Structures are given as structure tokens and as C-alpha cells.
């Protein structure tokens, strides 16, 4: 784990890049982290906290449906501070890795890959022979930091190295855009893959939200 200062920098980098990836407004600094006014159905506003100390206060004072909390730190401490109104999600992990501009390597025969860019946001898409999307991912670059987001491999195309290829290609695109380090938030399912690719866990993250009705 990083020092507190190092973790705060990772969180700052991640929220900036995540907002770019999702087309959301820029994060607003709060005393305990950041607020992102996402404005999407079921995800109206997001608070990302750099530690669990203020979780109880936030949980007690935030009441609007569609509000999300993402809290770095010990999961048990975070969960114990939440009321029954909050729906707790599966564990997640803030991870980081150094970047290099090495080639992304080859892709399995029968697939083709391409990359498109829109300013500081880059998308890698892998297509199957029939033209359908087999795997994809996105990276946003903000200064020297890059944030990887929305990496997915469709079920029928898994275990063929496509996820690894997408991650490497995103890393190359980010490095060529001037980034030297990268961040992502992984699910427990993706944790093992990212570790084999050289990513390290910076902090456990607990996500919870107030559901919207209907």
C-alpha cells in the first residue's frame, strides 16, 4: 500500500481520468475526497473518499436516490458505517502500473483490432471474423496519468488473450500520449489478470449507493 499522500494522488488521478472516460463533469475537490456530478439515471452524483473516516457522516447526510459512495480503505470499517438504506456492491481494488511504449504484441488469428482517439480519450476494439465486437476498452490521459476503464471481453471470446491485448494496446496509446503511470479500479474477477500484467493494488475500494425506485 502507498503512503496517505501517494494514495491521495492516485485517487486524484483516477477521478480525473474516470470523468474523462465517462464524459462526466470534472471532479470537484471535497475535504475528504472528490464529488462528481455524473447526472446519469441511477448514478446522479458520486463521492470518492480517500479514507473511511468520514463514511458515517456522509452516509447519514446524503439522502438523494442515485447517490454513490466509493471509499478507499478497510471494507469492514466502511460497511459498518453505512445504514441499511445503502446497497453495498462487491469489493473493488484501486490499482496502478508504470507505462511503457512497448508494442502491444500480436492478436490471435481470426481477430482484428483497431484504435480510435477523441482528444485525450482512446478506445481499443477487437473484432471477430463476423465483425462483432469481441473485446474492448478505453483509456483517458490527463497529464502524466492515464486511467483505464470499461475493459470487457464477451463471454464467447474469453480465454484467448484478448483482454491482455486490449490492456497492452491501451497502455501503448497512453504512453504515446505522454502518460507515465496508469490507474484503474478492478473487480475481484479482473484482479488476477491485472496482477499478471504488472499492476499493483493501491487500496481496497467499497462502493455503495442509494437505489432509485422504479
Q: Which domains does the chain have, with CATH numbers?
A: 4-95+203-209 (no CATH), 100-179 (3.40.630.30)
Q: How confident is the model at residue 2 (pLDDT cuts 50, 70, 90)?
A: low
- Predicted TM-score (pTM) of the model is 0.91
Main-chain dihedrals φ then ψ at residue 36, nearest 5 degrees: -125, 120
Angstrom distance (rounded) from CA 55 to CA 80: 9
Looking at residue 103, its pLDDT comes to 78
Residue pLDDT, tens place only, 14-51: 999 999 999 999 999 999 999 999 999 999 999 999 99
Q: What is the pLDDT of residue 104?
A: 78
By three-state DSSP, how is residue 114 classified? strand
- Alpha helical stretches, state H, 23-74: 55-61
Amino acid at each position: 500500500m502507498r503512503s496517505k499522500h501517494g494514495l491521495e494522488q492516485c485517487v486524484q488521478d483516477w477521478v480525473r481520468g474516470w470523468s474523462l472516460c465517462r464524459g462526466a463533469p470534472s471532479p470537484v475537490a471535497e475535504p475528504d475526497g472528490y464529488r462528481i456530478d455524473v447526472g446519469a439515471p441511477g448514478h446522479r452524483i458520486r463521492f470518492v473518499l480517500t479514507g473511511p473516516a468520514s463514511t458515517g457522516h456522509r452516509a447519514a447526510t446524503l439522502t438523494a436516490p442515485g447517490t454513490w459512495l466509493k471509499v478507499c480503505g478497510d471494507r469492514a470499517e466502511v460497511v459498518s458505517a453505512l445504514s441499511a438504506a445503502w446497497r453495498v456492491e462487491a469489493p473493488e481494488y484501486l490499482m496502478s502500473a508504470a507505462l511503457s511504449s512497448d508494442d502491444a504484441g500480436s492478436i490471435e488469428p481470426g481477430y482484428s483490432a483497431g484504435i480510435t482517439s477523441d482528444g485525450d480519450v482512446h478506445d481499443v476494439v477487437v473484432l471477430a471474423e463476423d465483425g462483432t465486437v469481441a473485446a474492448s476498452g478505453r483509456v483517458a490521459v490527463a497529464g502524466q496519468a492515464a486511467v483505464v476503464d470499461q475493459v470487457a471481453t464477451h463471454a464467447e471470446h474469453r480465454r484467448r488473450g484478448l483482454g491482455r491485448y486490449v490492456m497492452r494496446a491501451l497502455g501503448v496509446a497512453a504512453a504515446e500520449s505522454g502518460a507515465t503511470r496508469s490507474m484503474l479500479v478492478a473487480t475481484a474477477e479482473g484482479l488476477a489478470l491485472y496482477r499478471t500484467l504488472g499492476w499493483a493494488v493501491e487500496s481496497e475500494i467499497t462502493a455503495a449507493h442509494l437505489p432509485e425506485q422504479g
